[in-house]
Amino acid sequence: MAMAPSVFAFPRLVCIFLFFIAIVTAGAAPVSNLGQREEIKRKLMDNGIGLTPQMGWNTWNHFHCDVDEKLIRETADAMVSTGLSKVGYEYINIDDCWAELNRDSMGNLVPKASTFPSGIRALADYVHKKGLKFGLYSNAGTTTCSQSMPGSLGYEEQDAKTFALWGVDYLKYDNCDNSGTSPRERFPKMSKALLETGRPIFFSLCEWGEEDPATWAPGLGNSWRTTDDIVDSWGSMATRADLNDKWASYAGPGGWNDPDMLEVGNGGMTTEEYRSHFSIWALIKAPLLIGCDIRSMDNATFEILSNKEVIDVNQDKLGVQGKKVKKDGELEVWAGPLSGNRVAVILWNRGPIKAELTVFWSDIGLSSSTIVDVRNLWKHKTETSVQGKISAEVESHGCEMYVLSPSGVRH
């Protein structure tokens, strides 16, 4: 098999060093100067948000512009009644199309009267009373991507104050209608404006990976898109996993690579494919933002989205993004370190037929003499005292996901 570098090829301290070097060298993206960037970086860490990847729900993948306050209230209700909130999903995020086309006479954004007649503040209050957090969308351009509402370009301070006043906890900030100007010039303005409101607001940069935001966004926001938009297909999902993989060393507590939102439950992939989608997103510390209608999801969708053992990999406090560590044609091993000297491993069969996959300890940075307990996160079974390797028959487009916990070393 062709061997990719081990997930443990660089010690943790080196990864941390590279992470912070990436922040410092991002100085080409002025806030306006290095001192201000360092202050923003410190505040981003001090505000306590984004220490693990964000979890929640977003309107776009399933509803696009067909959004209103009834949908948001009912989704907040469903997040609680289904138990999804108990396993970590907390943000209820409205994407594009929530505002009127024109600002008011004072230059303020105006919620669309026909779909959000109660206003955004009342809706945020409803979400908060459910024990959840509320997210909104804007754009670092003149209009948003739908061209149905204003962007925030030139209104960063005013809009940030409005979002804070409304009780917004999360801002997704897109990159449309920008006249070809660099996001390195536009995105820092909103980052600074949000911090100056004094309200902790998770800042999600949606720059689509065009100017390699992993190299400069860690000092600006809590996550940054590394790819263009996902669609509900096997090829789209798998491609975004690959595109995101190269930026693994830039992710860590406070800031995460984002290969876009989850398509699980939207109907374009099989259950096996959705299980692979969710597993890989969890391992690579991607945001877990549900993109389906959770009010009417089927049991298979719920079982995937609510798998607490897989979610725990995503939310592990060590915060190291897993990577593709071994590839033989369409058979792949992805792995990453977890807290407590554990390792998460995925055997991923991207081929058209069922196949046997094997991961050797040497593939994932373990000594061949290490004895581990192997927990299968989808079958919820543990095999004890395993040494040297794991093998499994994996369905086409399916995966097996494990956590290896060292139980001793044989000398």
Q: Could you tell me which of 204, 209, 149, 210 has the C-alpha nearest to residue 180?
A: 210
Contact (CB, 8 A) for 205 and 217: yes
Q: Determine, yes or no, domain membership for 339.
A: yes
Q: What is the CATH number of the domain that holds 398?
A: 2.60.40.1180
Q: Where are the beta strands (DSSP E) in 180-270?
A: 202-205, 223-225, 256-258
The span from the CA of 67 to the CA of 95, in Å, is 9
Residue 239 lies in a domain: yes
Q: Do 136 and 81 belong together in one domain?
A: yes
Q: Tell me the three state secondary structure of residue 37.
A: helix
The answer to whether residues 371 and 276 belong to one domain is no
Full domain range(s) for residue 187: 55-315
Domain boundary among 265, 282, 315: 315
* CATH number, domain containing residue 161: 3.20.20.70
Distance CA 145, CA 187 (A): 16
Domain count, the chain: 2
Of how many residues is the chain composed? 411
Structure tokens at 399: 């995966």
Instruction: Please give the positions annotated as active site.
Output: 174, 229
Prediction pTM value:
0.90
> Tell me, what's the pLDDT at 47?
72
Distances 186 to 113, 139, 164, 210, 374 between C-alpha atoms, Å: 29, 10, 20, 14, 47
Low-confidence ranges of the chain (pLDDT < 50): 1-32, 409-411
Is 227 a domain residue? yes
Strand partners, 343: 337, 404
Q: Which of 201, 145, 155 is nearest to 175 (CA)?
A: 145
Please answer whether residues 361 and 394 qualify as being in contact, where contact means their C-beta atoms are separated by less than 8 angstroms: no
CB atoms within 10 A of CB 164: 18
Q: Is residue 26 part of a domain?
A: no
99 CA to centre of own chain: 25
In a domain, 8, yes or no: no
Q: Are residues 106 and 216 in the same domain?
A: yes
Q: What is the pLDDT of residue 36?
A: 62
- pLDDT score, position 10: 34
Q: Domain boundary at 315, 343, 371, which?
A: 315
Contact 194, 201 (CB under 8 A): yes
Cα separation values, 240 from 12, 174, 258, Å: 25, 18, 9
Nearest-angstrom CA–CA distance, 257 and 223: 6
Query: Which of these, 329, 269, 327, 265, lies nearest to 302 by C-alpha position?
Result: 265
